[in-house]
Amino acid sequence: HQLARQVMQTTTLILLGTIHPDTIAAGGLAVRISVSTNILSAVMLTVGISISMAQGAGDHKRISSLYWNGLYLAIALSLLSFIWFSNAHYLLTAIDIPPDVVADTQRCLDIMRWAAPAQIITLGLMRGVLPAFGLARILYALTPLTFILYVGASLGLARGIFGLPPMGWLAVPLALTIVNWLSALVMLAMVHGTD
């Protein structure tokens, strides 16, 4: 799953370079800043371990409590990520990044911040919870599907599919946000379907 995240980050840079080469610097900065979400997601892995231990002990009541507490923690961590993404331009300005690059980076992050809850749920909570519930196969099935959907949606939205106006390079962070939410909702549905 971690390798898939690296591929997705590399693909994001390739898509930005293909759609609008001038945004590669801003896209690279946005991707580097978004790594903070991966770090916050790592906190969530303990939830899956705790659920596995509770399952082994046959403590089903504790499993439900751990899961819901993990979901609430994911929401709290995503709020931190959202705030960071919303204010990253202050740091970029302080370290003398050119103003046009700062502006484009912030435009990208202003879209990507809406994916923070979905990313923390999928990268953190679900990566630990799905295997604990015997649903690890969902991770393996969704990874290639979300990648294909991401690339297709990025290129399609950039060029204006279904009569939509062409969005240019901003289609890339938008597609990333949409795909992250679709993936998170599928995983949540699978977990809640096991109750």
Within 57-98, residue ranges assigned H as helices are 60-94
* pLDDT-derived band at 2, boundaries 50, 70, 90: low
CB 120 within 8 A of CB 41: yes
Q: Which residues contact 186 (CB under 8 A, 6 or more apart)?
A: 138, 142
The pLDDT tens digits of the residues spanning 40-74 come to 887 787 887 888 888 778 777 888 888 888 899 99
**Cα 114 from Cα 127, distance rounded (Å):** 20
Q: How many other C-beta atoms can be found within 10 angstroms of the C-beta atom of residue 99?
A: 11
The answer to whether residue 98 scores a pLDDT higher than 90 is: yes
**What's the pTM value of the predicted model, to 2 decimals?**
0.85
CA distances from 169 to 15, 25, 89, 154 (A): 8, 12, 19, 8
**Cα 29 from Cα 45, distance rounded (Å):** 26
